[in-house]
Amino acid sequence: MFGESSVIEFMRKGGFFMYPILLCSIVGLAIFLQKIWMLRVKRIIPEQFLNTLYGFFSQGKLGEAIVLCRTNGSSTARIALVVLENSNKTREELKEEIEAAGRKEAQELGRYIEGLGAISNASTLLGLLGTISGMIKIFKVISEQPIVNPPSLAAGISEALYTTAFGLLVAIPAFIAYKYASGKADGLITDMEEEAKRIMEEVLLANERKDKTREIAR
């Protein structure tokens, strides 16, 4: 286990480029935790909400369905609300409205995910830059000393190795987090698209039943 003094020593030996890499690790962790919180199934496609919504559809209670969607903060609820508020339009027009709402929700789900990929790349490059900086210090010592004293090379060697190691230590988890969050978002978007299609069909069917009931009443 690293003690506080060990961590400080590790950062000191790594040189200047350790600090931007450390910043990358903090930002990357913050993004990952935020996406884990945002990309929960029950927040995007809540099962209880859908069961209640489809129950209203089967009973022809579209007004109650609208109220339910307005009081639910999920992505699926917002798309369902678009469907309900535009249910008087043709099927093609309704599809366009759903696609527009879906793109907006997909953009929200994917927000900041690319940042994890950028952090992975930046950490690797910063580690490489630290390696180059350390090598420059090593060659500078060699050029200035006719007989090189090994301890005088320690600072450059430490900077070269520590920044490389720390850069990779941040880059690899950031890349894994990027792939995980990206896959999770893509999966939720696909599921949301399927639910949107089902909701559209249910709303159109409920309207048809309502129209038939009116015709019979006449």
Q: What is the DSSP letter of 78?
A: H
Q: What angle do CA 29, 32, 37 make, to 5 degrees?
A: 125
Compute the average pLDDT of residues 41-66.
91
What's residue 139's pLDDT?
Answer: 74
Which residue reads 């678009």 in tokens? 82
When divided into structural domains, the chain yields a total of 1
In this prediction, what percent of the chain has a pLDDT beyond 90?
A: 57
Rounded to two decimals, the pTM is 0.81
* Lowest-confidence region among 77-91, 112-126, 138-152: 138-152
CB 164 within 8 A of CB 131: yes
Section 40-45 average pLDDT: 89
Q: What average pLDDT does the segment 127-155 reach?
A: 76
> What torsion do the CA atoms of 21, 23, 28, 29 make, to the nearest 10 degrees?
110
Is residue 171 within 8 A of residue 127, CB to CB? The reply is yes
Q: What is the pLDDT of residue 1?
A: 41
Q: What confidence tens digit (pLDDT) does each residue in 159-204 have?
A: 788 899 999 999 999 999 999 999 999 999 999 999 999 999 988 8
Is the pLDDT at 154 greater than 70? The verdict is no
Domain extent for 105: 4-217
List pLDDT tens digits, range 98-135. 999 999 999 999 989 999 999 999 999 999 998 888 88
Q: CB–CB of 68/51 below 8 Å?
A: no
